[in-house]
Amino acid sequence: MEQLSLKELRRCTSQKWQAHGSDLLPLWVAEMDVPLDPPVAKALRQAIDIGDRSYASRHGYADAVAGFLSAWRDWHDLPVADSRVLPDVMTGIVEALRASTDPGDAVIVTSPVYAPFFSYVSHADRKIVEAPLTSTGRLDIDLITETIARVQNSGGRCVVLRGNPHNPTGTVHAGAELEALALVAHDTGIRVLSDEIQGPLVLPGATFTPYLTVPDSDNAIAFTSASKGWNFARLKPRLPSPGRKPPPI
């Protein structure tokens, strides 16, 4: 893929390129410094040219995601009718926390994790409980099980919030790991929130497994977006005004 020159990058108005002076190279934001994929750029230009800039159709985004996952991961039964559109993944996670837990409940994270997990969960009045990855960067199913039991034995409720591929380690969790986690979640009656925004970025040799495709994942909620895989984090869907039910995605 073509690489933009430093001069071209310095013209960008994104947070990454405007937060610091020209004597620093900003490597702290997870965005790629490459041009938009031509089909994406073409679709955006067409939308602008014909004035297609209002609220999305009911299933447009979900149908597009379903089509991609069907071709990419051979997943032919994505539950389009059960999906929802939100401005971004973290907004979706917070809304899922509000629907799945009460203030003060525990959110188990498999640290080290994406830093905003901590801030967003805390701002939503939920409590972070860590169940760190193993020394090899894998899910520690025994520790997660023990952590769930500890929370439940204290009379509290919890969910597990995790990413696949894992951010920041880059680990792509194997299907067997996810099946083991789903079985624990099913047996303990808890919900797993799976951030899969990095899924399309797996490197050759690794296989991304959507969490909702493993057995016993019926109660889980998965979150995805094209913003990372296709590098347009600034572009977000417009939602109906407050008080109107958001269209499914």
| Residue 45 resides in a domain | no
Across the range 211-237, mean pLDDT stands at 89
Task: Identify the domain containing residue 149 by its residue range.
Answer: 87-229
pLDDT at 87: 84
Q: How far apart are CA 81 and CA 62, in angstroms?
A: 8
The first and second tokens of residue 120, run together, are 């967003």
| Residue 15 resides in a domain | no
Total domains, the chain? 1
Q: Are 134 and 180 in contact (CB under 8 A)?
A: no
pLDDT band at 224 (very low <50, low <70, confident <90, very high): very high
The answer to whether the Cα torsion of 98, 104, 106, 112 is positive or negative is: positive
| Residue 222 resides in a domain | yes
What 8-state DSSP symbol labels residue 195? Answer: E
pLDDT at 1: 55
| Residue 79 resides in a domain | no
Q: Outline where the chain has alpha helix (H).
A: 6-10, 15-18, 38-49, 60-73, 89-100, 116-123, 141-153, 175-188, 226-229
Please compute Rg for the chain using Cα positions. 19
Percent of the chain with pLDDT over 90: 60
Q: Which tops the pLDDT comparison, 35 or 190?
A: 190
pLDDT at 62: 86
pLDDT tens digit string along 155-201? Answer: 989 999 999 999 999 999 999 999 999 999 999 999 999 999 999 99
pLDDT band at 31 (very low <50, low <70, confident <90, very high): confident
| Residue 145 resides in a domain | yes
| Residue 66 resides in a domain | no
pLDDT at 249: 36
Which residues does 166 contact at the CB level (< 8 Å), separation at least 6? 110, 113, 133, 137, 172, 173
| Residue 128 resides in a domain | yes
Q: Are 211 and 180 in contact (CB under 8 A)?
A: no
The first and second tokens of residue 121, run together, are 């969960």
CATH number at residue 204: 3.40.640.10
| Residue 167 resides in a domain | yes
Q: What is the model's pTM?
A: 0.87
- What is the average pLDDT score of the chain? 88
